[in-house]
Each structure stands twice: as structure tokens, then as C-alpha cells.
Structure 1
Amino acid sequence: MVLSRKSNLLVFLVLAMIVLAADWMAIGGMTPEDEKIVSLGVTFDLVLVVPLLYYLCFVRKRAKSLLSVIPVVFAGYVTARYVLPSTNERLMSALQWVIFPLEALLVCFELAVVYYEIRKLVQVIKAYRVIRQTEAHVMDAARAAVSEVFGDRALATLIFHDVAVFYYSCLAWRQKAFTKPDAAAFAYHKESSWFYLMLMVCKLLILEGVAVHFLLQEWSHQAAWLVSASHVYLIILLVADYNAMRLNPVLVDQAGVRIQYGLRISADVPFSEIANVTVAQGMEIPKEEWETTVGPMFEQPNTAIELAQPLKVRGLFGIRREVGKIYLTLDKPEQFRQKIGEKTMYTRMI
């Protein structure tokens, strides 16, 4: 990340120096007859070309605000006033009436973006309050509200993922596991080793984060804090994932199987889509099935749900993909298999 940032800055500086060197040579060889055209060209380079290079090489790749280009535009304007002959005062006076409205336009654009975000947030809150009246699960209501406002797009999945991480890491500590009156619940966190693995990884992230922070601080303060922030986010993500595991058992109701395996697997599987359920200790997912299956990370599954046809499931960060088999690590896999057998047999009889 730091090397990429430095390479982008280096590219901008090289290109800007080439443009400025050409302008300097043009000013040095300027004759009275060429004064107007050279002044216009130099002003164009300083006020528009160099800021455009800064935007393409630095701002756009770092997804920064357009307002960060304004100081470069203003610096080019000030430079043009000092390097060009005083006979071009009229050009400079005219140019300032272009620059300042442009800056005002950018400020208005940023304010419009802020207004849009606030308006969308209000819409999500209103939609959530309406959906929550009929939806029992908090996060299912939040997902439906975000989808209603933003549509079925990648932006909606990312927004919901961040909302879920915040909820499970900060707001859900006193909540009880979600159940339905007519559903059988199957926990998967009580006999899992994920809790101890999470603690170990968090400990390593803290120790490594402190060491890496002081090491990078000798090179770049920004890089040190960026890496530290990524370590903190990973810790929050792990805590949120475990809390989601604790609060979301696998549910088998009249409609099918509701799977919310932490933040890593989310799917609603109708009984009509279940071809078979296999239970075995220490299952290994074959390499040739990695692209068409989904399962718990860093744990050996003991339950495999084979689907009649590919089904879309949501994974970490809301990434969707079609799978033909879902692997789980359940506390009571045999009881789960029996329950699925009862439900599928009853469904087929109907």
C-alpha cells in the first residue's frame, strides 16, 4: 500500500516536472509576438493540466475528495501570476473569475453528496422501522431495508456488511439467540474451537500490530497508522463473527433451513432444494469442490447439505456465489440430519 502510494506520487512528480520544464523553456524563449499564446498555454498547464495529473495519479486512485485538488489549482494560479509577465494582468484577472466559481462548484458538489448520503440514511431508517414490525430478526430487517433503498447492488451488500459488523461487535452483547416458535434450533458455537482460535488470532494481531506499528513509524507515520487500523478492524470483524455465531443458530422450520453461520455463510434453503444430508466427523472438502461449495473456515465440518441445484449464498463481505453443497460444523449434527429427514419426508408426502 505504501509502495503503491509512493509510486503514484513519483509518477505525478515526473509528469508535472516535464510539463513545468516545457513551460519554463517556452517562457524563456518567448517573444513579444508570442507572449499572449505562450501565457495562455502556460496558464492552462498550471491551472488545469497539472491539477488533472494530480487527480489521475493521486486522488482518483486513493478515492479522495475532489476538494483535495483545489489547493493544486490555487497553487498553479499563484505560480502563473508570478512567472508570467505583468502585461498578462488582464488574463490573470479573468482567470480568477473562472477559478473561484469552479471551487464553489466543487464545494457545492461535496455538499450535495453529503445531502444524498443523509437522505439515504433517513430512508433506510424509515424502511427499517416499517419492516421491523413484521420481521422478527433485527439484521434480516436491516438487510431488507438496505436492499429496498439501494437495490440489489454490490453497494448494498457492503453497506449491510458494515452494519452487521457494527451491530454484532457493539450492540448485540446482551441479546439472546434468535429462534422461531415453530423452528428447531441447532447451535454450532458451543463445541466449536472457533472461540479459542479467535482469541489466539486476536492476541497475535495485538502483539504483531504493536511491533509492526513502531517498525513502520520509522518509515512512514501514515503507513503505521493504516496498518494498525487494519489490525483493529480484523479484531472487530472476528469478534462480530463469533457474536453472530452465538446469536444465530441454524433454524429448521416449516419452510426450510435458515443458515446464518456467523458472518461467513448466509442462506435460506427450501426443503425442495435439499437432495441429501451427510453427517461424519472430520470431513475433508475435496479440492475439486472448492469452487462449488461453501463451508466454515479453519474448522473441519461434520455436516454436508447437498443441494438439488446450485443455490446462491452470501459469504463474508456480502459476496454472493452459487454453490452445490454447504458444509457446516454443528454441535448436534445427527439430530440435524434426522430433523431434515423428517421435514423432507413430510414435504414430499404433501
Structure 2
Amino acid sequence: MFALRRKNLLLVGFLVALIVISNFLIYRLEFMQPLPSEVALGSLIDLMFVIPLLIYFFLMKKKYSLKYMVPLAFAGYGVALLIIPHGFLSSYSFVKYIVLAGEGAFLLVEFYIVFKLVKNLPSIIRYMKKIDVPFFQNQIAQSLSSHLKSSSRLVDIITSEISMFYYSLFSWKAKRVTPKEDQQIFTFHQKTSVIALYIMLIHALVIESVGLHFLLHNWNEIIAYISLALNIYGLIYFIGEIQAVRLNPIVLTKTHLYLQVGLGKGLSVPLECIKSVTPYEGPEVLSSIESKEVFDCVLPDITKEKPAFEIELYAPMEAKFMYGFKKKVTKVHLRPDDPQGFYDALSAKIK
């Protein structure tokens, strides 16, 4: 299945690149000139309909509905503006108004969601304080679900964005999760170089942002500012990731094992669902098929360390990732800073 998915990804990537490059060259090769104005309509169809349909039917059909083609079509129109010379688009100015209307509707939905968030903010905060689960991500997700009558995917997206900005901008005075009654916590980042790794990435991103912005600015101002915005977003993410890793340890209660790996992924395991916990004796690098069923709680490092333990579950459980992505896992790999203490505590509770 994974091989088939990878094959589809390569095929779609090749077809998308072929369509974009051919549409780019047709306006710039001298022997193709002069071109009829109708050629712009063909390019719009390719970029706004053909490419989204390829992506949907080959990569998204089994997981997502057709509504996700709308942002793909908007992205295709943005590419068309960069590829098609302005004079060719003058006959199809109505497309611009359709796109603007769609963007306007999207912004109205966004403003409505922001309005509901602001309106319910006091009650959301009060509700969060009552929730008896660790980690900001879990608390805000449950609170938003109870106050926003929206799709679970939308709540997941809002949760991811709020969590990222909270950790990167507002968590500097926050203290690490502390154990309550009948709880034990175990750090898993102190014996790694994960924070140093993210600081290196932030340093490289800042240097790359400045140089790339001035380079792109000489070619296309719009692309330059889009690239700058994405790099700033990446900078905020890495800062938030550092804080999330630092503030969220492994939490073991009398009923659950709570795992939160930075901003990116989390898993809550009822103790009765744990079949066994054993020292990890597997390979350093899992195959693609094996990794699909494993929740990897080992932090990224300059040199990737092997897990200390493997937790086997009785039945597949749902691990949550950023922006609402999920997968079923049957095993958990982790490497706490106090391996023996964690092993003794968990073994005692599951017995």
C-alpha cells in the first residue's frame, strides 16, 4: 500500500511539473509566437481544474471530500498569475472576480470564527481550567469543541494555530507540567540535543530568509513577500516547538499515559489498553510499513537515538497530529531521561 501511494505521489508530481513547465514555456518560446488569446483559457483550465483533479483522485480521494479542491483551485489561479502574461488574461477578467468572491466568502467564515472565539473567550478559559488533562493542546481542543459548533477538522486546525502562537509568544513565563495527586512525570528532552538542533535551524532560517528575500525581490516582489511570510511562520513554529518540547513531559496518571511530542503529535493511552512495555531491541531505522503503526515519541536529534522502550497496545489507537491529521498505531517508542524510573512506574500501574 505504501509503495502504491509513493508511486502515485511520484506520478502526480511528474504530471504537475509537466503541466506547469509546459504552460510556462508556451508563452516564452519564440517559435510558438504569436499565440491566440484563447490559449490563456487553456492554461487556466490546466492550473485551476486539471491539477486539482489529479491531486484529488490520486492522493486525496480516500481521505478528503471535494471541498478541499477549492483552495487548490485558488492556488492554481495564483500560479496562473505568475505564468500567464498580463495581456492574455484581460479577456478572462471574470475569473479574477470569481476568485475574489471565493476569497471573500472564506474571509467571512474566518471573521465569523474569530468573532465566536473572542465572544466565548472568557468561558473557553474558564472551561480549560476545569479540564483534568495535561498539556495545553488537549485543554484548548476540548474547550473549543464544547464552544464552537464546527467540524472537527476546523477545530483541529484552530487548535494547532492557537497552540503554536501560545507556545512561541506567550509561554515564556509558564512552568513545566507539574504532577498532581496520583500523577508522575518524566522528561524526555534533557538528555538530547533537540533544543540545540532547533536553535541551529532557526539560525539557518533567519540567514536564508534575508538572502532569499532580496534575491526573489529582484525577480518577483509578490513571490518574495510570500516566501518571507512563510519563513516568518516557520520561525514562529520552531520557537513554539522548543517551548512545547520543554514544557510537556511524559505524564503518567492512575488511568492514562499522556504523550505530547512538541507541537506535532500527541497520544493518550488508557493503561488498560497497554499490553506490555519492554526494552526496545529492534532496528535503529524502521521500514516504512513498520513505522506506519508506531507512535514515535523519540525526539529528533543531531544523531537519532534508538528508543529505550517499546509499548505494545492491545488494539490500534488514534494518534493526533497537527491540523487534524491522524493515524492508527499499535506500538509506542519512547526514550525518557529516567528509563528505569519510567519502566518501574509504568510496569507497576499496568499490573
- TM-score with structure 1 length normalisation? 0.68
Cα separation, 1, equivalents of 2:237 and 2:176: 19
Displacement of 1:11 after TM fit? 9.1
| Unaligned stretches of 5+ residues in structure 2 | 1-73
Residue number in structure 2 paired with 1:146: 144
CA 1:119–1:293 in structure 2 vs 1: closer, same or farther (change >3 Å)?
A: same
Residue number in structure 1 paired with 2:349: 343
Cα separation, 2, equivalents of 1:251 and 1:240: 20
Tell me which amino acid in the other structure corresponds to 2:103: K
Cα separation, 1, equivalents of 2:114 and 2:196: 39
Displacement of 1:203 after TM fit? 1.1
Cα separation, 2, equivalents of 1:12 and 1:292: 50
Displacement of 1:241 after TM fit? 1.3
* 1:5 paired to 2:44: no
CA 1:302–1:236 in structure 2 vs 1: closer, same or farther (change >3 Å)?
A: farther
Cα separation, 2, equivalents of 1:205 and 1:119: 35
1:138-196 Cα deviation digits (max 9, x unpaired): 72332211111235511100101111111111111121111223211110111111111
Residue number in structure 2 paired with 1:293: 294
Alignment map for 1:107-122 (pairs within 5 Å): 110=108, 114=111, 117-122=114-119
Aligned length: 268
Residue number in structure 1 paired with 2:271: 271
Alignment map for 1:58-207 (pairs within 5 Å): 58-59=99-100, 64-65=103-104, 110=108, 114=111, 117-135=114-132, 137=134, 139=136, 140-150=138-148, 151=150, 153-179=152-178, 180-207=180-207
Residue number in structure 1 paired with 2:250: 250
Displacement of 1:137 after TM fit? 4.7
Displacement of 1:289 after TM fit? 1.2
Cα separation, 1, equivalents of 2:346 and 2:133: 23
Residue number in structure 2 paired with 1:54: 96
Cα separation, 2, equivalents of 1:328 and 1:231: 31
Displacement of 1:126 after TM fit? 1.6
Residue number in structure 1 paired with 2:19: none
CA 1:3–1:265 in structure 2 vs 1: closer, same or farther (change >3 Å)?
A: closer
Which range moves more in the overlay, 172-181 or 288-297?
288-297
Tell me which amino acid in the other structure corresponds to 2:104: S
- TM-score with structure 2 length normalisation? 0.67
1:248-300 Cα deviation digits (max 9, x unpaired): 11011100201122112211101111122233488433332122222146343
Cα separation, 2, equivalents of 1:229 and 1:216: 13
Aligned residues with identical type, % of pairs: 23
1:181-239 Cα deviation digits (max 9, x unpaired): 32111101111111111111111111111111111000111211211121121121112
| Unaligned stretches of 5+ residues in structure 1 | 20-49, 68-108, 346-350
CA 1:256–1:204 in structure 2 vs 1: closer, same or farther (change >3 Å)?
A: same
Where 1:278 maps in the other structure, the secondary structure is strand
Where 2:199 maps in the other structure, the secondary structure is helix
Q: Which has the larger radius of gyration?
A: 1
Cα separation, 2, equivalents of 1:4 and 1:232: 24
CA 1:267–1:13 in structure 2 vs 1: closer, same or farther (change >3 Å)?
A: farther
Displacement of 1:328 after TM fit? 2.1
Residue number in structure 1 paired with 2:208: 208
Cα separation, 1, equivalents of 2:332 and 2:348: 19
- The answer on whether the counterparts of 2:310 and 2:333 sit within 8 Å (CA) in structure 1 is yes
Residue number in structure 1 paired with 2:325: 319
* 1:333 paired to 2:342: no
Higher relative contact order (CA closer than 8 Å, sequence separation 6+): 2
Tell me which amino acid in the other structure corresponds to 1:207: I
CA 1:120–1:169 in structure 2 vs 1: closer, same or farther (change >3 Å)?
A: closer
Cα separation, 1, equivalents of 2:331 and 2:85: 48
- The answer on whether the counterparts of 2:280 and 2:308 sit within 8 Å (CA) in structure 1 is yes
Cα separation, 1, equivalents of 2:318 and 2:128: 23
